[in-house]
Copies of this chain bind each other. A is one copy, B any other.
Amino acid sequence: MNALFKALSHPVRRRIIDMLRKGPMASGDIAAAFDMSWPTITGHLNALKEAGLVSPEREGASIRYRLEISAVEEALAFLLAMTGARRRDSGDKT
């Protein structure tokens, strides 16, 4: 859970996630979309992979990264518990 939120805490990684919403992408294409070196993007992809947010799959010579939406849903559930399951000190509504 911590790796998940940590992965979400960097703007580049959130943008990568956003890009992958449309479908899997090769890491070269991802790297090309940023004004950063490719190894730096690899590092961010690794952080996302550790968090379970993306998974790599070989496609011929290149490697595509796919967004794992279930991991996003985990974080979502955590935040939902905060808003939805909130109680006031005088009452408890189900």
Contact = CB atoms under 8 A, between A and B. Distances in A.
Interface in A18-72: 18, 21-23, 67, 69, 72
Given A5-B5, A15-B94, A94-B11, A79 B86 contact: no
Interface residues of A, number: 30
B88 A69 contact: no
Interface SS majority for chain A? helix
Contacts of A83: 69, 72-73, 76
Given A8-B9, A9-B9, 10 more contacts: A2-B11, A6-B9, A21-B85, A22-B87, A23-B88, A23-B89, A67-B82, A72-B79, A75-B79, A76-B79
